Structures are given as C-alpha cells and as structure tokens.
Amino acid sequence: MTIKIPIEIVELDNTSFHLFVEGFVNGQRCDLIIDTGASKTVFALNHISDILDEPAKILSGIQSAGINAAEMESHQGILSSFKMGDFYIEKFNIILIDLNSIDQLYKNISSKSIWGLIGSDFLLKYKAKIDYAKRILTLHVPKFKYHGN
C-alpha cells in the first residue's frame, strides 16, 4: 500500500532547507523534521515524556550521538498512536533524547516546535521517496501493517 504525506519545505536561511511533516503523537499535533542524515528516528524527551503510555526507561547499551559527536542519554518509550497523514501505527516503540537545542533553534527561526526527527531507519523500512517538486513523502506500507482511518 502506498501512502502519500504532504511535506513542508522551510528555508531557514538563503542556503538551508529543511523538510517538515505534520504528525500526531497520542492524538496531539506536532511538527517533525524529515532528517535523511539521522540514522535513527528520535523524539523529544521534553515533549513526549508526559504523554507516554508508561514512564520512559533509560536504554542501556545503546549510544546516541548528535552531529557534534557528544554522547546523549537515550530513553525508550511506547506511544499509543503515531500518525503522519494516512500513515498510522499503534503501540509505536520510540527512542527519546534531549532535542531542546534543536527545538529552540527552530522556534527562533521558524516558530515551529520540534517533537522529533524522522530518520533513515524509518525511511528505509517504509521505502520512502521524497518528491521535492510535489512536496510529497511517499511510504510503502505492507497492507497488514496499515491501520489508516
């Protein structure tokens, strides 16, 4: 099954463009960045921890590092639901990290509050294609995994 999700391309300065997608985490609207350079999909601990089905647990044995190569503490949580366009997952296992610096940067330049980064793990799993001209993210989801509206 093919799912097409609208994306927004935001120019942060004259040379930097970022892809945003609207999502819903446990029913709450959020802004997410499509980050093809991120190896893992992560969510912001400060936004998500209060709406998890169970308290976040610190992950052991998993290291997270940002572009500055500094290690970050990672947590694991489960979302009741995660939605982007017609794409929908229940009981979504997620990784949580501190995204405060990224969140603050985007609030200052674009007035968006960043709840997460959609990384290459997610994009590869769902054979994602980004059509910049049409501003569409296309995901290929097996029918048995699709829970749409």
Asked whether residue 58 carries a pLDDT value surpassing 80, the answer given is no
Rg (CA), the chain: 15
Asked whether residue 13 carries a pLDDT value surpassing 80, the answer given is no
Q: Give the length of the chain.
A: 149
- Tens digit of pLDDT for each residue in 20-45? 999 999 999 999 999 999 999 999 99
CB–CB of 118/33 below 8 Å? Answer: yes
CB–CB of 31/22 below 8 Å? Answer: yes
Structure tokens at 148: 């749409």
- 107, 118, 97: which is closest to 33 by C-alpha? 118
Question: CA-CA distance, 131 to 7, in Å (whole number)?
Answer: 9
Q: In 44-62, which positions are buried (b, 16+ CB within 10 angstroms) versus exposed (e)?
A: bbebbeeebeeebeeeeee
- Tens digit of pLDDT for each residue in 62-104? 445 454 445 678 888 888 899 999 999 998 888 999 999 888 8
Q: What is the pTM of this model?
A: 0.83
Mean pLDDT of the chain: 85
Question: CA-CA distance, 85 to 29, in Å (whole number)?
Answer: 11
CATH number of 9-126: 2.40.70.10
